[in-house]
Amino acid sequence: MMENRLLLIDDEEAILRVLSISLRHEGYVVFTALNGKEALQVFEKENPGIVLTDLKMPGMDGLQVLRRIKEINPDTEVIVITGHGDMDSAIDALRFGASDFINKPVRDEALRIALDRAREKRELRRQLQAYTTDLEQMCRLATEEVRRKSEFQDKLITSSNDGIVATDERGLIILFNPGAEKIFGYSRREIVEKVGFEQIYPEDVAGEFRSGFRRKRDKRGWGWKEVSIRGKGGEIVPVRFSGTLLYEGEKVIGSVGFFQDLREIKRLQRELVQSERLAAIGQTVARLAHYIKNILTGLQGGMYVVNIGLDKDDMDKLKAGWTMVQRNIGRVSDLVMDLLTYSKEREPEYRECYPNQIAEDVCELMEVKAAQNQIEMVRDFDPSIGRVSMDPGAVHRCLLNLVSNAIDACLFDLSENKSWKVSVRTGREGENAVSFQVTDNGAGMTADVKKKLFSAFFSTKGGKGTGLGLLVTHKLVQENGGRIEVESEPGKGSTFTLHFPYRREDGGGSGTEPLAAKEH
Amino acid sequence: MSKKILTVDDDPDIIVFVKTVLEENGYEPLIARNGESGLIMARAEKPSLILLDVLMPKQSGIRMYRELKSDPELKDIPVIILSGIAKRTFLRSQEALTEFGDEPVPDPSAYIEKPVDPGELAETIARFVK
């Protein structure tokens, strides 16, 4: 609202009356006073925004009134009315803060201009004041907001479970949250502003930060990786770490590192592994017990038959029972040997031998069982394989296991009218290895069976297998620096391939050094 | 004349053992080493009872049992399953075959899980062979 309250002061009553009529007509609320003293009383009571005063008055003159009013309310616009040509007084008035002067006789036009100007000035001042107040208010709100945000971030950092460590541009640690205290074991008072990152970061991480600080901006940060930090008192703490350098434009202004405590996770992992191991041991023991029980059944049956033979003096029964006992003692012996082979570290025993001869021996051993079950044995030996130095015992054992499995695979094949076949093939593999391949067209294996092939005591042969054969084979092959490959399809059959490295006889050397050392 | 009892099993230990038990109890043992020859022998000899293993090469006991029970001439011969696998596994596999469209078959007369006690075997046989 434009200021429209006005105090008019003149010692001449006629002028007062004429001017106030004219000003009221213009829309002002006009208060009048005939002298300085009265004027001040009215002013204090009404506090008008604009004062129009004559300078020359008896008693308190216009200048004095002006100074008093300016003391009371400096914002008041005071317009002085001077006598014609009284420039000195006008200048004095302006010096004491009058906003304008008009000459007597007061012309309406000059008065209106002076008043309009005064009113504009007041309005401007009012607006300025409003802006200033607004600005102050906004400034206060913004400050409050900044403070709240900063407090919020402080709380975020403080309540983070992750350890957060920040440094300034020199690498001095300036932030060390409670999460970091928990992981590192130091209190923030021991660290902040006292210690550089190099003293608490793991060496490789510290190195990366160090070179990051030196280089120009080329790297933003480091993804999560597992490292170990050395906490207070030397405790090695496994953590996941990620960090980044902080830039302002191109300039490094600091760094921040995030640390996740992995102690609990590692502990749970260890517990899990432990319980899995216990479960595996339990399963292993159960399977082993089952197999031994089978043997025991055979032995008990044998004893029963032997007893009958003794009672009846029946030599045939005695022989049959004794054969059962012998066969089952053989099974115990095989089982124990397999267990020993599996559990003991064994150095390959290299000797000169003919791989084709080993394959032939195995075929001969298994031929009777194959023939009994109408399974054809096919030999396909590479005649160019001569005498080599390898571990014949291990090769024999592995091959025997595979051929015996191949025959079982044919026996357990439920297809009808199939002519079953087990092929044993030998071949040269480059300059220093022989392959032995056993193929059958028997039952084949499902993916599930294939997956468990080399696990301890896994058997598809009911009570008739130990579940150790392939495990032992695998171990022997590995000890000899070789490898084993399996291909199989249910209903079509399986192929097992052994690759055994050897030392060539003409290559010289003692033949006793480990094969791995001989590789080019 | 003593009664004929057919044993179908591929385990030589079981064959000798069962054969001895049968002889001791006055039966005449017949031996087959797989389901295929077991079926041939059953048709030829018409035994009074059949002792059948489940896990065997060539034709399994599961299949042979079905064939026995679907053959009008053989279906009345009592069959005792003698096996290393649990009874419910055997029964479930029979149910599965029935679900796949085969005719349903009756349960076996008895089911003895290995290891077999000679006395128990003899008693069980006696229950079905009069």
Query: pLDDT digits over B87-99, tens only?
Result: 787 788 778 777 7
Q: How far apart are the first and last CA of chain A?
A: 101
CA distance A325 to B13: 9
Tell me the shortest Cα–Cα distance from A493 to chain B, in angstroms.
15
In this structure, what token pair is assigned to residue A520?
């080019």
Contact B63 A414 (CB under 8 A): yes
DSSP 8-state assignment for residue A484: E
Cα angle A246, A249, A254 (rounded to 5 degrees) comes to 20
Strands across the sheet containing A503-504: A351-353, A388-390, A503-504
- State how far the Cα of A175 lies from the Cα of A251, in Å rounded to an integer: 20
Interface of A with B in 427-466 (CB under 8 A): 462-464
pLDDT at res. A509: 41
Q: What total of structural domains would you count in chain B?
A: 1
A198: tokens are 């190099």
Phi, psi of A125 (to 5 degrees): -65, -40
* Other beta carbons within 10 Å of A341: 18
User: Exposed (0-12), middle (13-18) or buried (19+): which is A292, by Cβ within 10 Å?
Assistant: middle
- Residues 248-267 on A with a CB inside 8 Å of B are none
| Rounded average pLDDT over B24-31 | 94
Each residue's pLDDT, cut to its tens digit, for chain A (520 residues) gives 456 899 999 998 888 898 899 889 888 999 999 999 999 999 999 989 999 999 888 888 889 999 999 999 988 999 999 886 788 888 888 898 898 888 888 888 888 888 888 888 888 888 998 898 899 899 999 999 999 999 998 899 989 989 999 999 888 999 999 999 999 999 999 999 999 988 889 888 888 888 878 776 666 677 888 888 888 888 889 999 998 888 888 888 889 999 999 998 888 888 888 888 888 778 778 778 878 888 888 899 999 999 999 999 999 999 999 999 998 998 898 888 888 887 877 788 888 999 999 999 999 999 988 998 889 999 999 999 888 999 998 999 999 999 999 998 988 887 777 889 999 999 998 888 999 999 999 888 988 888 888 876 677 776 567 778 888 898 899 888 899 999 999 888 999 999 999 876 554 444 344 444 333 3
Answer yes or no: do B85 and A462 touch at CB < 8 A.
yes
- Interface probe for A, chosen from B9, B14, B17, B25 (most Cβ of A below 10 Å), is B17
**Given CB atoms, is A321 within the 8 Å cutoff of chain B?**
yes
Asked if the C-beta of A405 comes within 8 angstroms of chain B's C-beta atoms, the answer is: no
How far is B21 from chain A, CA to nearest CA, in Å? 8
Measure B75 CA to nearest chain A CA, in Å.
23
CB contact under 8 A, A294 and B84: yes
The whole-angstrom separation of Cα A283 and Cα B111 is: 27
Verify whether the Cβ–Cβ distance A301 to B58 is below 8 Å: no
- Report chain B's C-alpha Rg in angstroms: 14
Q: Which residue of A has its CA nearest to B84?
A: A463
| Strand bridging mode A100-103 / A163-168 | unpaired
Beta bridge partners of A225: A241
The answer to whether A7 touches A54, Cβ cutoff 8 Å, is: no
The number of residues making up chain B comes to 130
Contact B57, B10 (CB under 8 A): yes
Query: Cβ–Cβ of B85/A293 closer than 8 Å?
Result: no
Domain region containing B76: 4-128
Question: What's the pLDDT score for residue A518?
Answer: 38
Q: Please answer yes or no on whether B16 and A412 come within 8 Å at the CB atom.
A: no
For chains A and B, count residue pairs whose Cβ atoms are closer than 8 Å.
Answer: 59
Inter-chain CB proximity B16 and A308 less than 8 Å:
no
- With 0-12 CB in 10 A as exposed, 13-18 as middle and 19+ as buried, what is A276? exposed
From B51, B58, B18, B68, select the one nearest B35 (Cα to Cα): B58
Residues of A in contact with B21 (CB under 8 A): 304
User: Can you tell me the distance from the alpha carbon of A335 to that of A456, in angstroms, rounded to the nearest whole number?
Assistant: 13
Overall residue count recorded for chain A in this entry: 520
Nearest CA distance, B127 vs chain A (angstrom): 22
Contacts of B7 in chain A (CB under 8 A): none
The enclosing H or E element of A259 equals strand A251-261
Handedness of CA B67, B69, B71, B73 (dihedral sign): positive
Helix (H) or strand (E) holding A51: strand A50-54
Q: Is A305 on the interface with B (CB under 8 A)?
A: yes
Cβ pair B16:A298 closer than 8 A: no
Query: What CATH number is attached to the domain comprising B105?
Result: 3.40.50.2300
CB distance A462–B84 less than 8 Å? yes
